[in-house]
């Protein structure tokens, strides 16, 4: 069985059984079955599948683990959590999340006016709303409006000027006034590629001097009783527990000091986000060195210890983990359109009566290669190819010879890999690195995996079926944008092997996992490829599943509208370009215009399925 490290990254959410990858829940449907069901409705191109039961699992685990830790340390404060909207604002995700969150009193965190509007429209009345990020008067007005609606809202101040605006708005709009939080600037900081949110040079938060000033200002304006929370966030995907503990000690002491200074309603510490997700599919690399159990134990234990030492009440604990909650729920399915060397078959070989000697030799290598000589013959064939390509550049061999060279070398590579498939030799790995197969996928990396493009973040990837067959091709993955950055290269440290599939006879799909956090909203419309078609998979009590809320990828007209093209003008230009053409008659013009209209209402992804041999 070839499981692509599923035990490392899937948390048992997906399993390999009977050669396919299955959702490990209730009736355990395979991802292939779900994908085919969606495609039966005529949908092609990439597909984003949402699994609300995995949102439920993450939220449930977060609350359960904090409650367990609080019980075991006899902690006096409460546990509360909000979902940071910036991680995923898509309605079909948020709708599920808010519904699932109700029984936990799970709230929302907003970092902009638009996000705050989502929270004000969809959050449960009793569940907390926290507001971070830079705020102008408009945003603070919104906070007061939310308070007037009856929401339990905390405005977290990033700078003293924001506090001054709050005082101003309080005079204009009056009671009820939202609770006030202060974001503290820690000297300890996170690590890893997302670490810029914490630390003394961080973009956010108040220094100790500013904290003292803020408390003075609140006191002077008789608002100190509204100051209820301190907040910090040391960055996303915190891969080690040590910086979390340092930040907690620092924040815990700041909390105790502020209480001692008279901030007597200050009763909560908000830890921000940062809980890491295990993205690795290779045993020798791990993305996180701690579990949720260790994390919750450390948080509760440290805060209790500091509160006891300093003789203050144990604070309520808030978290804003987003990646941890959202990442597992979504899987991206990308159909494979082409294997680069698929066309290199023996049938394509057109050897001449007399061939250049090196080609004769290649042919001989191909015919006589066996397990014992495979590596040696592979080396020889790669050498010969270099020489033959040089001969072509110098004008000594023709295009037919060059084509025969390419075909023979690829045939030798395939044969050698087949012969050596059980070998673990390092040399084979090195050769595979040199002779990797390119898999062309019907998706845009810029749209669907922007963190790979921007940060080289790797996501677990595997084929949906054939998992009982050893994959032998070292693979690099190419998207359909016209950008050479649209590639996930084969990396000898994180090797990916896929199957040598004949796409004329069978379909082949790859799944990317853990793509539910950040990827959707950071996705770019490069080449005007849009958010993929999405579907939500809901399981009922009997274990059966239903496909809900299918949203097809935006049509070409919709995306052009989003760019502010005048669609009337655009369509009338197309129409008149066709009408004024002298190349076709009136009847054909009508037919062509219908065809054009049809295409305008489809999305930009490729619609083709690979052709069958018989067609």
What's the min distance (Å) between Cβ of 236 and ligand PLP? 3
d(CA 159, CA 136): 11
What's the min distance (Å) between Cβ of 286 and ligand PLP? 17
Residue with the CB atom nearest ligand PLP in the bound state: 273
Between residues 237 and 444, which has the closer beta carbon with respect to ligand PLP? Answer: 237
Candidate segments 50-58, 273-281, 532-540, 590-598, binder of ligand PLP by CB under 6 A: 273-281
Tokens of 182: 């202060």
What's the min distance (Å) between Cβ of 326 and ligand PLP? 8
CB 524 within 8 A of CB 450: yes
What's the min distance (Å) between Cβ of 366 and ligand PLP? 53
CA distances from 22 to 34, 410, 511 (A): 10, 34, 12
DSSP notation for 512-571: E-S--SSHHHH---GGG--SPEEEEEEE-TTS-EEEEEEEPPPPHHHHHHHTT--HHHHH
User: Cis ω on the peptide bond leading into residue 609 (within 30° of 0)?
Assistant: no
What's the min distance (Å) between Cβ of 130 and ligand PLP? 8
Question: Following CA atoms 524, 525, 530, 534 in sequence, which dihedral angle do they give, to the nearest 10 degrees?
Answer: 0
What's the min distance (Å) between Cβ of 77 and ligand PLP? 19
Work out which of 50, 135, 233, 414 binds ligand PLP, going by CB under 6 A. Answer: 233
What's the min distance (Å) between Cβ of 272 and ligand PLP? 4
Q: Binding to ligand PLP by residue 205, rule CB under 6 A?
A: no
Contacts of 440 (CB under 8 A, 6+ apart): 336, 337, 338, 339, 340, 478, 480
Tokens of 149: 């609606």
Work out which of 246, 323, 410, 499 binds ligand PLP, going by CB under 6 A. Answer: 323
Between residues 255 and 324, which has the closer beta carbon with respect to ligand PLP? Answer: 324
How many residues bind to ligand PLP according to rule CB under 6 A?
16
Work out which of 13, 321, 436, 447 binds ligand PLP, going by CB under 6 A. Answer: 321
Tokens of 348: 């394509």
Longest dimension (CA), the chain: 99
Rg of the Cα trace of the chain?
30
Binding mask 281-320 for ligand PLP (x = CB under 6 A): ---------------------------------------x
Please, which of residues 50-89 interact with ligand PLP by CB under 6 A?
Answer: 84, 86-87
Residue 454: CB atoms within 10 A of its CB come to 12
Between residues 46 and 274, which has the closer beta carbon with respect to ligand PLP? Answer: 274
Tokens of 100: 């699932």
Q: Which residues of 554-586 are buried (b: 16+ CB within 10 A; e: fewer)?
A: bbebebbeeeeeeeeeebeeeeeebeeeeeeee
CA distances from 250 to 77, 79, 254 (A): 19, 20, 6
Between residues 70 and 81, which has the closer beta carbon with respect to ligand PLP? Answer: 81
What's the min distance (Å) between Cβ of 151 and ligand PLP? 18
Binding mask 492-531 for ligand PLP (x = CB under 6 A): ----------------------------------------
Between residues 270 and 533, which has the closer beta carbon with respect to ligand PLP? Answer: 270
What's the min distance (Å) between Cβ of 323 and ligand PLP? 4
Question: 344: number of CA atoms within 13 Å, CB side?
Answer: 19
What's the min distance (Å) between Cβ of 324 and ligand PLP? 6
Between residues 273 and 460, which has the closer beta carbon with respect to ligand PLP? Answer: 273
Q: Binding to ligand PLP by residue 471, rule CB under 6 A?
A: no
Work out which of 275, 385, 445, 449 binds ligand PLP, going by CB under 6 A. Answer: 275
DSSP notation for 231-265: E----SS---SHHHHHHHHHHHHHHHHHHHTT-TT
What's the min distance (Å) between Cβ of 273 and ligand PLP? 2
d(CA 360, CA 358): 5
Between residues 29 and 272, which has the closer beta carbon with respect to ligand PLP? Answer: 272
Q: Binding to ligand PLP by residue 273, rule CB under 6 A?
A: yes
Between residues 112 and 280, which has the closer beta carbon with respect to ligand PLP? Answer: 112
CB 300 within 8 A of CB 73: yes
Contacts of 289 (CB under 8 A, 6+ apart): 239, 240, 241
Q: Binding to ligand PLP by residue 532, rule CB under 6 A?
A: no
Binding mask 122-141 for ligand PLP (x = CB under 6 A): ----------x---------
d(CA 120, CA 141): 13
In the numeric block, the tokens 């995995």 are attached to 54
Candidate segments 230-238, 292-300, 407-415, 562-570, binder of ligand PLP by CB under 6 A: 230-238
Q: Binding to ligand PLP by residue 195, rule CB under 6 A?
A: no
Q: Binding to ligand PLP by residue 322, rule CB under 6 A?
A: yes
Question: Following CA atoms 447, 451, 455, 458 in sequence, which dihedral angle do they give, to the nearest 10 degrees?
Answer: -110
Work out which of 30, 35, 80, 236 binds ligand PLP, going by CB under 6 A. Answer: 236
Q: Binding to ligand PLP by residue 198, rule CB under 6 A?
A: no
Which residues contact ligand PLP (rule: CB under 6 A)?
84, 86-87, 132, 233, 236-237, 272-275, 320-324
């Amino acid at each position: 069985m070839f499981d692509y490290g599923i035990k490392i990254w899937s948390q048992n959410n997906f399993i390999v059984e009977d050669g396919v990858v299955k959702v490990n829940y209730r009736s355990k449907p395979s991802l292939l079955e779900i994908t085919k069901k969606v495609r039966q409705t005529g949908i092609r191109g990439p597909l984003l599948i949402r699994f609300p039961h995995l949102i439920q699992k993450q939220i449930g685990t977060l609350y359960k683990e904090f409650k367990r830790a609080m019980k075991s340390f006899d902690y006096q404060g409460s546990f509360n959590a909000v979902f940071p909207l910036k991680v995923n604002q898509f309605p079909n995700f948020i709708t599920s999340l808010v519904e699932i969150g109700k029984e936990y009193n799970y709230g929302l965190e907003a970092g902009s006016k638009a996000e705050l509007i989502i929270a004000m429209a969809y959050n449960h009345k009793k569940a907390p709303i926290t507001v971070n990020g830079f705020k102008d008067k408009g945003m603070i007005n919104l906070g007061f409006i939310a308070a007037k609606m009856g929401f339990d809202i905390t405005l977290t101040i990033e700078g003293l000027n924001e506090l001054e605006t709050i005082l101003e708005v309080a005079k204009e709009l009056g009671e009820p006034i939202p609770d006030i939080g202060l974001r503290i600037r820690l000297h300890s900081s996170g690590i890893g590629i997302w670490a810029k949110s914490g630390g003394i040079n961080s973009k956010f938060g108040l220094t100790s001097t500013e904290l003292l000033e803020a408390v003075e200002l609140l006191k002077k304006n008789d608002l100190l009783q509204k100051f209820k929370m301190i907040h910090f966030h040391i960055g996303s995907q915190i891969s080690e527990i040590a910086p979390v503990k340092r930040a907690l000690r620092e924040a815990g002491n700041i909390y105790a000091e502020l209480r001692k200074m008279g901030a007597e309603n200050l009763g909560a510490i908000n830890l921000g986000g940062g809980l890491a997700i295990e993205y690795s599919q290779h045993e020798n690399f791990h993305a996180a060195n701690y579990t949720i159990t260790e994390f919750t134990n450390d948080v509760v234990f440290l805060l209790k210890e500091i509160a006891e030492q300093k003789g203050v009440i144990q604070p309520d604990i808030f978290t804003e983990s987003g990646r941890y909650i959202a990442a597992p729920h979504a899987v991206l399915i990308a159909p494979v359109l082409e294997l680069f060397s698929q066309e290199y078959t023996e049938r394509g070989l057109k050897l001449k009566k007399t061939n250049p000697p090196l080609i004769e030799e290649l042919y001989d290598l191909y015919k006589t290669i066996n397990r014992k000589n495979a590596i040696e013959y592979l080396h020889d064939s790669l050498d010969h190819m270099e020489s033959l390509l040089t001969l072509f550049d110098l004008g000594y061999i023709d295009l037919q010879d060059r084509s025969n060279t390419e075909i023979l070398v690829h045939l030798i590579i395939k044969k050698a890999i087949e012969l050596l498939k059980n070998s673990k030799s390092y040399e084979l790995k090195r050769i595979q690195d040199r002779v990797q197969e390119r898999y062309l996928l019907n998706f845009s990396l810029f749209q669907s995996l922007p963190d790979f493009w921007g940060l080289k973040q790797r996501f677990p990837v595997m084929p949906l079926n054939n998992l009982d067959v050893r994959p032998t091709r070292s693979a690099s993955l190419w998207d359909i944008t016209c950008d050479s950055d649209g590639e996930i290269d084969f990396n000898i440290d994180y090797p990916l092997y896929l199957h040598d599939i004949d796409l004329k006879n069978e379909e082949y799909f790859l799944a990317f996992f853990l793509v539910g956090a950040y990827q959707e909203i950071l996705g770019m419309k490069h080449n005007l490829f849009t958010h993929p078609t999405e579907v939500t998979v809901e399981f009922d009590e009997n274990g059966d599943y239903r496909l809900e809320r299918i949203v097809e990828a935006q049509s070409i007209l919709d995306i052009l509208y989003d760019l502010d093209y005048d669609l009337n003008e655009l369509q009338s230009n197309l129409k008149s370009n066709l009408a004024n053409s002298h190349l076709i008659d009136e009847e054909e013009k009508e037919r062509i215009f219908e065809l054009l209209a049809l295409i305008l209402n489809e999305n930009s992804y490729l619609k083709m399925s690979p052709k069958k041999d018989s067609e």
